[in-house]
């Protein structure tokens, strides 16, 4: 309880009033205080649930989820976050609903939102599309709210777009905060965000982009490593550069995994497709050229196969700080000899970090819940004091 009270006090000193009634698209659109608010609220919600205190702020209401790509983890994280706050999830299955572009986005967004308090969207497959779609949806329901169509303003949480994966990267960061004993201890820590080999093509760019866009805020020394040609979106690299200058950290690039791993405090080896490839694929899809996409994908797999040495092996881990950097992954990982023949990480490395990895993932529902909480509750600290005082049990059968 004392711990919760202290965190609530901390929250009072963070300026987060602009998160109220607002959407969450990209971490770099938020101030440092706002990011810290998310971390603090996530920690408070977690501690309260651990203490069997109900944090249901909604008596009824819906949380709408839209997954334009298969998803288990994020789906369950969003459902958990909504449930924690008292919202019931309704999933918009696009196959069934034929939501599409332009006109229909505006209409469908309003039609499903009459009793929606929050909308969570995952749309990460096509460069230049996902984030844009989220804005279309959010703008549509805002207009709907302002013109009296909707009684409440449904806010939006980006559950992964083509540019950023904020709920994942903030869960990663919250994990680091706890691991290193406080956000202030992240300053100067060396992070290796490295490409790694995977036998599958077309993994989204949003995780590495989200990582370099967020970790550079904390004064960390972020190295982005990948084989030649596996670039990220240039505008996000620009963001990372500017962030690092402002925060007193560093952002460097290299074509050597080893170089990135050397003396790293944190390593994040993960496969992704090159930006240029993703862009080309997006265009081909737009033109309906599916045969060309097949050809393109085969080319990429061939190209990938040249870089099988980009694997997070025991030898690579030995290069890191005290030979025991914190290993991060958004899961599921391609584990060599387990989920594939040759992959991103050696089985023995993965296995040693299994529990921390699961904990890392466990922050995600709370990060999402915190984003919803901050967009809905006008005075978060005061509300937490109320909840504490009320002390309603989540489970009353103990």
The closest of 28, 8, 16 to 239, measured between CA atoms, is 28
Does residue 146 come out as left (phi exceeding 0), alpha (psi in the -120 to 50 range) or beta? alpha
Q: Between 65 and 194, name the residue whose CB sits nearer to a copy of itself.
A: 65
- Provide the minimum distance between the beta carbon of 20 and a copy of itself in the complex, in angstroms, as a whole number: 10
Compute the least distance from the CB of residue 75 to a copy of itself, in Å.
Answer: 8
Cα distances (angstroms) measured from residue 317 to each of 33, 90, 132, 264, 326: 34, 43, 39, 9, 10
**Least distance in angstroms from the C-beta of 216 to a copy of itself:** 28
Query: CA 150 to CA 123: how far, in whole Å?
Result: 24
**By C-beta, is 46 or 250 nearer to a copy of itself?**
46
Q: Are 326 and 360 in contact (CB under 8 A)?
A: no
Residue where the block lists tokens 């997954």:
67
Work out how close the CB of 398 gets to a copy of itself at its nearest, in angstroms, rounded to a whole number: 6
Q: How far is the CB of 350 from a copy of itself (least distance, A)?
A: 9
Q: Are 7 and 45 in contact (CB under 8 A)?
A: no
**Shortest Å distance, C-beta 331 to a copy of itself:** 7
Rounded to whole angstroms, the Cα distance separating 138 from 22 reads 10
Q: How far apart are CA 125 and CA 398, in angstroms?
A: 45
**Which of 260/367 has CB closer to a copy of itself?**
367
């Amino acid at each position: 309880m004392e711990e919760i009270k202290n965190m609530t006090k901390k929250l009072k000193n963070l300026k987060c009033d602009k998160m109220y009634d607002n959407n969450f698209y990209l971490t770099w659109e938020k101030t440092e205080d706002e990011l810290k608010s998310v971390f603090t609220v996530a920690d408070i919600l977690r501690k309260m649930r651990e203490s069997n205190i109900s944090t249901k702020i909604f008596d009824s209401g819906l949380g709408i989820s839209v997954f334009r790509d298969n998803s288990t983890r994020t789906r369950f994280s969003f459902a958990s976050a909504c449930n924690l706050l008292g919202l019931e999830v309704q999933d918009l299955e696009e196959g069934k609903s034929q939501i599409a572009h332009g006109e229909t986005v505006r209409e469908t967004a309003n039609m499903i939102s009459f009793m929606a308090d929050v909308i969570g969207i995952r749309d990460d497959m096509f460069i230049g599309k996902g984030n844009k779609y989220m804005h279309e949806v959010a703008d549509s329901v805002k207009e709907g709210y302002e013109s009296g169509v909707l009684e409440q303003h449904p806010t939006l949480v980006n559950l992964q777009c083509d540019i950023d994966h904020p709920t994942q990267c903030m869960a990663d960061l919250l994990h680091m905060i706890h691991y290193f004993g406080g956000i202030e201890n992240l300053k100067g820590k060396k992070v290796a965000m490295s490409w790694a080999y995977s036998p599958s093509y077309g993994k989204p760019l949003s995780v590495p982009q989200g990582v370099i866009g967020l970790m550079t805020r904390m004064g960390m020394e972020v190295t982005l490593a990948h084989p030649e040609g596996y670039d990220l979106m240039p505008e996000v690299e620009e963001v990372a550069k500017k962030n690092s200058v402002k925060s007193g950290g560093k952002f460097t690039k290299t074509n050597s995994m080893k170089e990135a791993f050397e003396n790293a405090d944190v390593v994040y080896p993960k496969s992704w497709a090159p930006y240029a490839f993703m862009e080309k694929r997006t265009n081909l899809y737009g033109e309906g050229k599916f045969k060309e996409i097949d050809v393109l994908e085969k080319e990429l797999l061939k190209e990938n196969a040249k870089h099988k040495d980009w694997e997070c092996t025991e030898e690579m881990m030995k290069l890191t700080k005290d030979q025991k950097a914190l290993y991060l992954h958004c899961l599921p990982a391609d584990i060599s000899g387990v989920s594939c023949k040759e992959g991103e990480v050696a089985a023995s490395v993965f296995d040693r970090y299994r529990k921390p990895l699961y904990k890392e993932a466990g922050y995600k529902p709370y990060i999402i819940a915190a984003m919803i909480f901050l967009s809905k509750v006008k005075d978060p600290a005061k509300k937490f004091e109320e909840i504490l005082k009320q002390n309603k049990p989540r489970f009353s059968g103990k």
